[in-house]
Amino acid sequence: MNAPFFKFDMFSFDISLVVAFIIGIGFGFALERGGFGSARILASQFYFTDMRVLKVMFSAIVTAMLGVFFFVAFGWLDLSLVYYTDTNMIPQVVGGLILGVGFVVGGYCPGTSCVAAVTGRIDGALYLIGVMAGIFIFGELFPLIENFYSSTDMGRVFLPDYLGMSYGMVVLLVVLMAVGAFAAAEWGERKMAAKKSGVVK
C-alpha cells in the first residue's frame, strides 16, 4: 500500500475534505494545547524569553522530513504524486518578509490567529480580520502585481537538487541544524532568565 492514498483513488474527493477537516481540527487543538493561541507566547520567541515555538516547529519539520525520507526509501510513498508549488524566489522572499513583520507586530501567524480567534481571544479575531482584508486587497491589486508575482520562476526546485547534494546529506544537515537551534534556544532562554533575575553568568 502506497501513499498518497488520495492519488491512488483509495477514497473520494468528498472523503478527502472530511479527512482534511479532521486533520485541521487536530492541528488546531495541538496548537492551542501547546500555547500557540497566545500572542504573548508567540511573540516571546523574538525576545528569547520563551523559545517553544522554534522548538515545536523545528521538531515538526524534522519529524515530517524524516518520515517522508524513510517512507520514500521504503517504497511506501510516491513523492512524484505529492503536490509542490513552484519556486518564485524574489516574490516568495518578499512575501516571507511581510509575513515575518506581521508576525512580530501582531504576535500571530495566519494559523495561530485562527486558533486564537476560535478560543475567544479578541486580538486573534482582529488579526484574522486583518488577514482576510489582506487577502481581499491582494486579490484586487493582483492585476497590477501579476508580473512581479510570476517573476523569477524556477519551477519545482528541491533543496538537494539546488545545492547539488544528496537527499540524505540534506536531511542530515537539517537535523544537525535543528539540534544546534535547540541548544541555542536553551542557552538564550537561560541568559534572558538570568538577566531578568539580575544574575550575571
Written as nine digits, the cell of 143 is 492585476
| pLDDT per residue of the chain (201 residues) written in tens, 0 to 9 | 577 777 777 778 888 899 999 998 998 898 888 888 888 888 888 888 888 888 888 888 899 999 999 998 888 888 888 888 889 999 999 999 998 888 888 888 888 899 999 988 999 999 999 999 999 999 999 999 999 999 999 988 888 888 899 999 999 999 999 999 888 888 888 888 777 776 544
Asked if the structure places residue 159 within a domain, the reply is yes
**CA neighbor of 16 nearest in space, from 27, 4, 26:** 4
Instruction: Classify 198 in phi/psi space as left (phi over 0), alpha (psi -120 to 50) or beta.
Output: left
**Coil, strand, or helix at residue 77?**
strand
Q: How far apart are CA 84 and CA 65, in angstroms?
A: 14
Asked if the structure places residue 1 within a domain, the reply is no
Q: What is the pLDDT of residue 1?
A: 56
The whole model's pTM is what? Answer: 0.74
Asked if the structure places residue 56 within a domain, the reply is yes
Asked if the structure places residue 150 within a domain, the reply is yes
| CB of 109 closer than 8 Å to CB of 173 | no
Domain, as residue range, for 141: 6-197
| CB of 55 closer than 8 Å to CB of 41 | no
Cα 106 to the center of its chain, rounded Å? 17
Q: What is the pLDDT of residue 45?
A: 81
| CB of 36 closer than 8 Å to CB of 115 | yes
Q: What is the pLDDT of residue 173?
A: 93
Q: How many domains does the chain have?
A: 1
Asked if the structure places residue 44 within a domain, the reply is yes
Q: What is the pLDDT of residue 13?
A: 84
For residue 88, list its beta bridge partners: 153
